[in-house]
């Protein structure tokens, strides 16, 4: 991603492959540190079969990181580049569980804001949502609601709803539904 580096590693204690996402030291300005911390905390609260979970997080000497399971497979983007357009049944097979994952996420007070083929991983043909780097917390009890500047639009324009393009501060889960429809 733009603010981090991702590494494939083997977890010694359990001899399993994991992915370690590390905040890039050269990008460690204050806003990025805070955004990365929020990404970790946001992703760690989500426990759903279609959302890539956080296994562990930490930091030493100012270097923040978190660990996720390695998802053997490919991104939806890679599959689309290899196969081209998917048929209607396959689209429904992928979109329905992602819609359930987004509904769960929205009930938790979180808006992903970056639903796109690159952030949909395919594991044994099943979709999993990844990368909460620009997620927005909309829970009433949350102290931080997002780490972007007022009037700052972030995301991937091809999949963004109009209210996200114009950086509407009232953005909610409907933005993710729009993005998922754009993916479909």
**Is 114 among the residues known to form the active site?**
yes
pLDDT at 108: 92
Residue 183: partners with Cβ closer than 8 Å, 6 or more residues away:
76, 95, 115, 116, 117, 120, 159
pLDDT number for residue 25: 67
Q: How far is CA 9 from CA 17, 81, 95, 129, in A?
A: 6, 26, 30, 21
Q: Tell me: the pLDDT tens digits for 1-29?
A: 566 788 999 999 999 999 998 876 665 55
pLDDT in tens, 151-160: 555 667 888 8
Question: What DSSP character marks residue 27?
Answer: G
C-alpha 182/C-alpha 117 separation (Å) is 10
Q: Which residue among the candidates 87, 114, 141, 168 is catalytic per the annotation?
A: 114
Q: Which pLDDT belongs to residue 141?
A: 54
Angle at 48 between CA 42 and CA 54, to 5 degrees: 45
Better-scored residue on pLDDT, 165 or 82:
82
Q: In whole angstroms, give the CA distance from residue 31 to residue 86.
A: 39
Name the pairing type of β-strands 73-75 and 136-137: unpaired
Q: What is the pLDDT of residue 129?
A: 96
User: Cα–Cα distances in Å, from 1 out to 24, 69, 86, 156?
Assistant: 10, 17, 26, 12
Q: How far apart are alpha carbons 136 and 147 in whole angstroms?
A: 8
pLDDT in tens, 40-91: 888 888 999 999 998 988 887 767 888 999 999 999 999 999 999 999 999 9
Q: Which tops the pLDDT comparison, 62 or 183?
A: 183
- How confident is the model over 86-133, as pLDDT tens digits? 999 999 999 999 999 999 999 999 999 899 999 999 999 999 999 877
């Amino acid at each position: 991603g733009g603010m981090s580096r991702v590494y494939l590693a083997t977890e010694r204690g359990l001899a399993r492959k994991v992915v370690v996402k590390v905040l890039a030291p050269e990008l460690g300005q204050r806003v990025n540190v805070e955004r990365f911390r929020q990404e970790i905390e946001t992703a760690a609260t989500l426990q759903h079969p279609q959302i890539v979970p956080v296994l562990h997080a930490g930091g030493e000497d100012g270097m923040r990181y978190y660990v996720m399971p390695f998802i053997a497979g490919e991104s939806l983007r890679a599959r689309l580049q290899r196969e081209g357009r998917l048929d209607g049944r396959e689209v429904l097979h992928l979109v329905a569980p992602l819609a359930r994952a987004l509904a769960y996420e929205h009930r938790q007070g979180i808006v992903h804001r970056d639903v796109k083929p690159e952030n949909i991983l395919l594991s044994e043909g099943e979709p999993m949502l990844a990368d909460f780097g620009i997620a927005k917390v909309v829970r009433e009890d949350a102290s931080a609601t997002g780490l972007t500047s007022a009037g700052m639009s972030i995301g991937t324009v091809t999949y963004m709803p109009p209210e996200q393009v114009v950086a509407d501060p009232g953005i909610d889960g409907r933005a993710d539904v729009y993005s998922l429809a754009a993916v479909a």
